Amino acid sequence: MHRRDFLKTTGVMAGGLALTSLIPNLVHASLTLGNTKISTLSDGTLGLPGDMVYGHLPQDELAPILEKYSLDRKRVVPECNVTLVQSGENKVLFDVGAGSNFMPTAGKILESLEGTDLSVDDITHVIFTHAHPDHIWGLLDDFDDPVFPNATHMIGKTEWEYWMNPETVNSIEPSRQAFAVGAKNRLSAIEDAVSFFKDGEEILPGIAAHASFGHTPGHMAFEVRSGSDAAMIVGDSIVNHHVAFERPDWHSGSDQDPETGAKTRIALLDKITTDKMQLIGFHLPNGGIGRCERKDNSYQFISEA
Instruction: Give the pLDDT confidence of 87-110 residue by residue, as tens digits.
Output: 999 999 999 999 999 999 999 999
Instruction: Give the pLDDT confidence of 247-270 residue by residue, as tens digits.
Output: 999 999 999 999 999 999 999 999
In-domain check, residue 289: no
pLDDT at 5 over 50: no
Kindly state the DSSP code that residue 4 receives in the 8-state scheme.
H
Nearest to 83, CA basis, from 284, 296, 266: 284
Q: In this structure, is the dihedral angle defined by the CA atoms of residues 137, 47, 130 and 119, taken in order, positive or negative?
A: positive
- Cα first-last separation, the chain: 39
Cβ(146)–Cβ(189) under 8 Å? Answer: yes
Kindly state the DSSP code that residue 137 receives in the 8-state scheme.
G
| Dihedral, 290, 291, 294, 300 alpha carbons, nearest 10 | -10
pLDDT at 218 over 80: yes
In-domain check, residue 92: yes
- Report the DSSP beta bridge partners of residue 125: 92, 152
Instruction: Give residue 1's pLDDT band: very low, low, confident or very high (50, 70, 90).
Output: very low
Over residues 281-304, the mean pLDDT reads 94
What is the pLDDT, as a whole number, of residue 295? 86
Give the total number of structural domains in the chain.
1
Which is more confident, 2 or 20? Answer: 2
Q: Report the chain's mean pLDDT, rounded to a whole number.
A: 91
Q: CA 154 to CA 147: how far, in whole Å?
A: 15
Instruction: Give the pLDDT confidence of 171-186 residue by residue, as tens digits.
Output: 999 999 999 999 999 9
Domain containing residue 173: 3-221
In-domain check, residue 45: yes
Over residues 291-302, the mean pLDDT reads 93
CATH code, domain with 163: 3.60.15.10
What is the pLDDT, as a whole number, of residue 26? 66
Q: CA 208 to CA 198: how far, in whole Å?
A: 10
In-domain check, residue 70: yes
Residue 215 exposed, middle or buried by CB count within 10 Å (0-12, 13-18, 19+) = buried
Kindly state the DSSP code that residue 101 receives in the 8-state scheme.
S
What is the pLDDT, as a whole number, of residue 93? 98
In-domain check, residue 240: no
In-domain check, residue 231: no
What is the pLDDT, as a whole number, of residue 45? 96
pLDDT at 21 over 70: no
What is the pLDDT, as a whole number, of residue 7? 44
Q: State the pTM of this model.
A: 0.91
In-domain check, residue 232: no
What is the pLDDT, as a whole number, of residue 304? 84
In-domain check, residue 173: yes
Alpha-carbon distances of 53 from 62, 142, 146, 158, 170, rounded to whole Å:
11, 31, 32, 26, 24
Q: Which of 12-21, 53-62, 198-207 has the weakest average pLDDT?
A: 12-21
